[in-house]
Structure 1
Amino acid sequence: MRARKPSNKLSPIIWHPLHVPRQSIILWLASKGRLRTMDRIPRNAENDTTCKLCHREGESHDHLFFNCGYSKKVWEWITKKANLAWPNLPWQGLLTWLEQRSSAKGNFHQWISYLALSSTIYHLWRERNRRTFDNNGQSITTLCDNILTQIRTQLMEHPRRADIPDLLQRIWNLRD
């Protein structure tokens, strides 16, 4: 009846078995460049378009999530803890790189990398909003601890937790 659309290659990255729905929605919006960053808001004298995390450059998706000094430190911390080897690419480049490495079946290593991506994007967006609307921010350490706790919680609650490889169980302290 209706024309079939091509499948979305980001689907396994965004909607993996460990996903948190609200984080996946923010990741989906960010992947489409649809979050209301300052570069998308009409400019006038009242709008300060400076990044709320670093206060140095104009805010855009690429800057906010990957080029901002605050975000870069968060990513360094998360990728080191999660034992992820990601290239230093702009936003769309990283999504393309992840798409090329995703498999339909997936595995815990991939799911953790996808969860790290969605959790980090979500928490950076929340931190940006906290600073924009509440004039209240967190330290990098506190934000990273929140992200890592979120990832660990998702792993702990997974019904196949016993199937998680030993290395990942040690990294994420999943042993009872």
Structure 2
Amino acid sequence: MTHSSCYTDGTWTAQTKYTPAMGYEWFRDRKRVVSWSKWIWNEHVLPKHQFVGWLYAHGAIRTKDKLLSYGLEIDDSCFLCNQAAESSDHLWCDCIYSRQVVQGLSQRLKIVFPVTEVINWCTQLTGTVMQKGVHLGLVWGMVYHIWQQRNKSRMEGILMRPEKIVSQIIEEVKARIRGRDFKMITKMDLDWLQSKELYVLET
């Protein structure tokens, strides 16, 4: 076919050559691009952390305030601290247990982590692409593990010490970093990783 049309920005325009890519672009579901996608679907974020992060960004994590809004009759107290009503804002911003995890990460790595809404924190990240990616890996690891601990507390009555959660998050991110092609990483980033004890050069 030598003469065809092309679908661009919602309209058909004259086109001299047709390609399968043009047809795909027309048939595919054209959804709104969201700003947070690049912060969750990042190579430094583990897939299991990405899934919980995706739920978090959509406001789809079923904290107790949401269950109450569905009409369920339940105790609304936080499973982690039992000192306030459970909501997304409380669970990741105000809960004493969660704050201990955040403070532990900050002390271990000398990095300031969010005590406010996570997506807003992501918008303020600075540094190189590598450094931002590591920050994202750590913060979504934190979101994942806090939610996991909340569920273990609910189902099994088990609550791990915050410092152990901190160590788990750091080890997972370190493993992710070790899988990178270090030929593509600058000396500046290597120095930064070593300063945070997230990577040790092999001797």
State the TM-score, normalized to the length of structure 1.
0.85
Partner of 1:167: 192
**30, 51, 57: which one aligns with 2:84:** 57
* AA at the equivalent of 1:54: C
Greater Cα offset, 126-135 or 36-45: 36-45
Structure 1 contact 18–158 (Cα < 8 Å) conserved: no
User: Is the 2:152–2:158 contact (alpha carbons within 8 Å) kept by the matching residues of 1?
Assistant: yes
Distance in 1 separating the partners of 2:36 and 2:175: 24
* Greater than 2 Å deviation, 4+ residue runs: 1-6, 42-45, 79-89, 99-103, 159-162
- Residues 47-89 of structure 1, C-alpha deviations (whole Å, 9 max, x = no match): 2211111110010011011110111111111133333234643
1:125 and 2:147 aligned: yes
Residue 137 of structure 1 deviates from its aligned partner by 1.2
The match for 2:9 is: none
Does the aligned pair in 1 maintain the 2:64–2:76 contact within 8 Å? Answer: yes
Looking at structure 1, the residues matched to 120 and 151 of structure 2 have their Cα atoms a distance apart, in angstroms, of 27
- 1:97 & 1:145 partners in 2: Cα distance? 22
How far apart in 2 are the matches of 1:28 and 1:9? Answer: 12
Distance, in Å, in 1 between the alignment partners of 2:160 and 2:36 is: 30
* Alpha carbons 1:24, 1:118 under 8 Å: kept: yes
Q: Which has the larger radius of gyration?
A: 2
Alignment gaps of 5+ in structure 1: none
Q: Return closer, same or farther for 1:17/1:73 CA change in 2, 3 Å cut-off.
A: same
* 2:181 is the counterpart of 1:156: no
Secondary structure of 1:22's counterpart equals helix
| Counterpart mapping for 1:69-108 below 5 A | 69-86=96-113, 88-89=115-116, 91=117, 94-99=118-123, 101=125, 107-108=129-130
TM-score norm. by structure 2 comes to 0.74
C-alpha distance 101-143 of structure 1, shift in aligned 2 (>3 A): closer
SS of the residue 2:169 aligns to: helix
Asked whether 1:38 is paired with 2:64, we answer yes
**Higher deviation after alignment, 153-162 or 29-38:** 153-162
TM-aligned CA distance change 1:97 to 1:142, over 3 Å: closer
Q: Which has the higher strand share?
A: 2
Q: What is the rounded CA distance, in whole Å, between the counterparts of 2:56 and 2:161 in structure 1?
A: 23
The letter for the 1-side match of 2:120 is: T
**Unaligned stretches of 5+ in structure 2?**
1-25
Q: Is the 8 A contact 1:123 1:143 kept in 2?
A: yes
Task: Give the percent of matched residue pairs that are identical in Structure 1 and Structure 2.
Answer: 22
CA distance in 1, matches of 2:152, 2:177: 27
**C-alpha contact (below 8 Å) 1:27/1:121 kept by paired residues:** yes
Question: Alpha carbon RMSD of aligned pairs, Å?
Answer: 2.3
